[in-house]
Structure 1
């Protein structure tokens, strides 16, 4: 299992290094020291920590992938609308009917959640943030 430096954990989770250090100092996230005397977090430990942090909000739905964010752009053309949401450092784009976008009053600056229900999700393995 990989051991991640505090800065790598912060990048993966989308928080500051100081936030991760507070989690460790407060006993919320376990860390150890590597050979260079840097604090590191085991990958499995981080995964368990993040699983425990997940809060499912919203109504009853079979969709489990929810990305809370802010609407950054809405383009309306004819019957369709393209809505862009910035969610935790990710750009999510949704195509919907103009009617749906208007009913939701979507415009830049509005808080929104992208709910994703997909039968196929491609997963790539990366070496991590290093």
Structure 2
């Protein structure tokens, strides 16, 4: 089973080490002692992340119907560059920067501008996964 040190878990989630420690202290996350340092099980962290993501999407995506695409990244629009036909929309979704090319008509209909909250819905036919070697 993969175990992550507190600082690694925090970096993966984009939160502070103190936030991970608070989750441990409150019982949201279990910690083990790995070579004299606290660590969390990868499976436990994955379950917590899923719960946190579901909770945040419920509040940000209220009113949205059922979708076939599984990848929804809700964030804030940071930049829109438009010409007569097409627009480049940049968003910051947590630690991820998303850039999409959509019609200028769609940008206007959606009212997208810097500071708008929006959801990038991604449906890809090819997604690659890069792993890293797990520690025992």
TM-score over 0.5 for the alignment?
Answer: yes
Equivalences for residues 1-130 of structure 1 within 5 A: 1-35=1-35, 37-55=36-54, 56=57, 57=61, 58-127=64-133
Decide whether aligned partners of structure 1 residues 124 and 97 sit closer, same or farther in structure 2, where only a CA change above 3 A counts. Answer: same
Aligned counterparts of 2:79 and 2:132: Cα–Cα separation in 1: 30
Unaligned runs of 5+ in 1: none
Aligned counterparts of 1:68 and 1:127: Cα–Cα separation in 2: 30
Taking structure 2 as the reference length, the TM-score comes to 0.86
Secondary structure in 2 matching 1:66: strand
Unaligned runs of 5+ in 2: none
Determine which structure has the larger helix proportion and give its number. 2
Taking structure 1 as the reference length, the TM-score comes to 0.89
